[in-house]
Amino acid sequence: MRVTVNPGHCPGIDPGAMGPAGLREADVALAVGKLTAEYLRAAGCEVLLIQDDSLEKICSESNAFRADLFVSIHCNSHTSPAAHGCEFWTARNASMGAYRLASCLEKQFCATFPKLYNRGVKTGGLYVTLHTDCPACLVETAFISNPAEERLLADPVWQDECAKAIARGVTDAMQ
């Protein structure tokens, strides 16, 4: 099984959202993405780990890799610091495989973090979910704009648990 893991945004170019204490989304996504890739490799998957400022390049390289599944890892953000929770995005009119991937990720993530509000599986027009040739899901791990969730996102133990949940969700979707 071939899996593309895409840590969202790109340090130095597009760091993504920034938390009130200065935590950068790109850094969290990369830390979680690297761990996720390690766990997937340990489970026998071939993994393409790609973080880049070009969404077109990310999708093109994933398609050239002939990925069976694609996961993009992000931190959510909102103008209200009270916004909270995790959510899972797939493309409008996505294949059943994409819905299965998103559902498996949601199930594992929510089992790992039962106190984290589940905003659910959503559909939309996100570039990476629309332009990959395989089932794709974008995971919004938590709100970096929420001070309490920013502290979670900065915690290496939480990042590791997050990566394990994502890897389990991916392997569940393969079955």
Q: Provide the pLDDT for residue 12.
A: 84
For 88-138, the pLDDT digits (tens) are 999 988 889 999 999 999 999 999 999 999 999 999 999 999 999 999 999
- Res 155: pLDDT: 98
pLDDT score, position 9: 96
In this predicted structure, what is the pLDDT of residue 150? 98
- The structural domains of the chain, with segments of one domain joined by +, span 2-174
Q: CA 133, CA 58: separation in Å to the nearest integer?
A: 12
pTM: 0.97
Spans of the chain, pLDDT less than 50: none
Name residues whose C-beta falls within 8 Å of residue 40's C-beta, 6 or more positions apart in sequence: 3, 5, 47, 167, 170, 171
CATH number of 2-174: 3.40.630.40
Contact yes or no for 11/54 (Cβ under 8 A) = no
> Please, is 20 exposed, middle or buried when counting C-beta atoms within 10 Å of its C-beta (0-12, 13-18, 19+)?
exposed
